[in-house]
Structure 1
Amino acid sequence: MKLYLFPPSSRVLAIVALKNHLALDCEFNPIDLGRGDQLTPEYLALNPNRKMPTLEDGEFVLWESNAILFYMAAKRPESGLWPSDLRGQADVLRWLAWESAHWDAESCGMVAFEKASKAVLGLGAPDPAFIARGEQNFVRFAAVLDDQLKGRAWLIGERLTIADFSIGAFVPSAARFGLPLARFSEIGRWYEGLAALPGWQDAVAAKDAATAAWLAKGSG
């Protein structure tokens, strides 16, 4: 398999951590969004959305990070990261949809985009109104997540799933950009479990190094 990734991305953190956890054999192909790699004809043939990540497995091409998480987990059904029962599958799908619609687009991802991504991508100065909205939304949606985690080791109960990878990948950036994680003790407890996974630790270290290099490039 080949993965086309922008290494500083939180969505990429989830994919790399899952790849590590499952010991999948993947070739990494970095996509530099600031340089415009996503706009080349070769890449657009794989992903016409001009975004990343993208997975290529032989003749099969897949984009959307949560779909990629599912595909990778399905390669290792014995891992249990994609439930075998209908209700478990529906529960994971519910939280993957929540992550995409709210956790990323309306809170964590919104703040990170305004505070870091815009400058490096040449999209102008941060918008204080959007930052404030993202911060308010974070409190709202973090409360939902915190309540869900009460009495549970993982997001849907006692089993680790790809939903934990998808949602947990935004916690480091939330902390970095000053979102009030300390107010939500269940999120902190749950994230400690993810952070204890060796594959997660390696993925976070790689993301941190890539982020530092990317931000240095943007400020240079």
Structure 2
Amino acid sequence: MKIYADPITVNCRKVLAGLDLMGAPYELHLVDYFKGEQKSDAYTAINPNQSIPAMVDGDLVLWESNAILQYAADKNGVSSAYPTDLKTRADINRWLLWESSSWFPSCYVYLVENCVKPLLGGAADPAVLAAQDAQFHKLAGILDARLNGRQWIVTDKPTIADIALASPMHLHGWQRLPLDPHPHLRRWLFESVERLPSWDKTWVGEGFTTQRVQKQAA
């Protein structure tokens, strides 16, 4: 599988962390998001949406990050990450659809306002953030209720649903996501997801960097 991605973005990190979770082999082709390489003619021929990531596997060209994870899990036979039981799979699919239609757009507002705009020399718009507040807490409350008494979203192991739902929050501190009223969501993110080796391996930090700064001893 060839994965066309920039590891700094939400949906690219989602795919890379998910593939690492399931141990799926892939070949990374870097598409620099801030240089606009996703709008090049060569990439547009792969994904006419001019968005990343995309996957090419033989004659199959696939975009949409959640679809890539579903395909990779089935291709590699990783049923722990994407169980084949009908009801369990339907539950995971429900969360994947909800993430892309509702959760990602809400979290993305905080990413744009608190991360992207300042990085490009602008400033967050308090009115935009205030307008998103009620929707964010509604959605976060749904996740918080789901995670009450659960370590993972669907099964007793991490699945692609956990990776997908965590990805829009992957810069939560820099995003200034208002997570304090949602203790079960915080516990799942901090104590379960962020301790996954696949999540740590695909780390992204403030400034959209993938390079950790090593602290020097005094």
Q: How many residue pairs end up in the alignment?
A: 210
In 2, Cα distance between the equivalents of 1:11 and 1:213?
Answer: 15
Report the counterpart of residue 199 of structure 2 in structure 1.
200
**DSSP 3-state at the match of 1:33:** coil
Structure 1 SS opposite 2:35: coil
Distance 1:121 1:47 in 2: 26
Contact 1:3-1:28 within 8 A present in 2 as well: yes
Query: Partners in 2 of 1:142 and 1:58 — Cα distance?
Result: 39
Is the 8 Å Cα contact of residues 31 and 38 (structure 1) preserved in structure 2? yes
User: Which whole-Å CA distance do the structure 2 matches of 1:78 and 1:26 have between them?
Assistant: 15
C-alpha root-mean-square deviation of aligned residues, in Å?
A: 2.3
Q: Which has the higher contact order (CA 8 A, sep 6+)?
A: 1
Other-structure match for 1:160: 158
Change (3 A) 1:118 1:3: farther
CA 1:213–1:146 in structure 2 vs 1: closer, same or farther (change >3 Å)? Answer: closer
Q: Hey, what does 1:28 align to over in structure 2?
A: 28
Indicate how the Cα distance of structure 1 residues 65 and 44 shifts in structure 2: closer, same or farther if over 3 A, else same: same
Q: How far has the Cα of 1:102 moved from its partner?
A: 1.3
Superimposed CA distance per residue, residues 150-203 of structure 1 (whole angstroms, 9 cap, x where no aligned partner): 122211242322111100122332232212222211112212112222121111
- Distance in structure 2 (CA, Å) of the matches to 1:179 and 1:200: 19
Distance 1:36-1:171 versus aligned 2 partners, 3 A rule: closer
The structure that is helix-richer by fraction is 1
1:108 matched to 2:107: yes
1: CA distance between counterparts of 2:66 and 2:13? 12
**Where do 5+ consecutive residues of structure 2 fail to align?**
212-218
- State the 1:141 CA deviation: 0.8
Q: Which amino acid aligns with 2:34?
A: G
Q: Secondary structure at the match of 1:4?
A: strand
Q: Which amino acid aligns with 1:212?
A: T
- The alignment-based identity, stated in percent, is 36
Matching of residue 211 in structure 1 with residue 213 in structure 2: no
Instruction: Write out per-residue CA displacement over residues 121-140 of structure 1, whole angstroms, 9 at most, x where no aligned residue.
Output: 79x76443322223332211
C-alpha contact (below 8 Å) 2:22/2:81 kept by paired residues? no
* 1:109-148 correspondence runs (5 A): 109-118=108-117, 126-148=124-146
Partner of 2:37: 37
SS at 1:3 equivalent: strand
> What secondary structure does 2:62 align onto?
strand
TM-score if structure 1 supplies the norm length? 0.85
TM-score normalised by the chain length of structure 2: 0.86
Report the 3-state secondary structure (helix = DSSP H, G, I; strand = E; otherwise coil) of the residue aligned with 2:42.
Answer: helix
Name the counterpart of 2:169. 171
The 8 Å contact of residues 171 and 206 in structure 2, kept in 1 or not, is answered as no
Structure 1 residues 163-172 or 142-151, which shifts more?
163-172
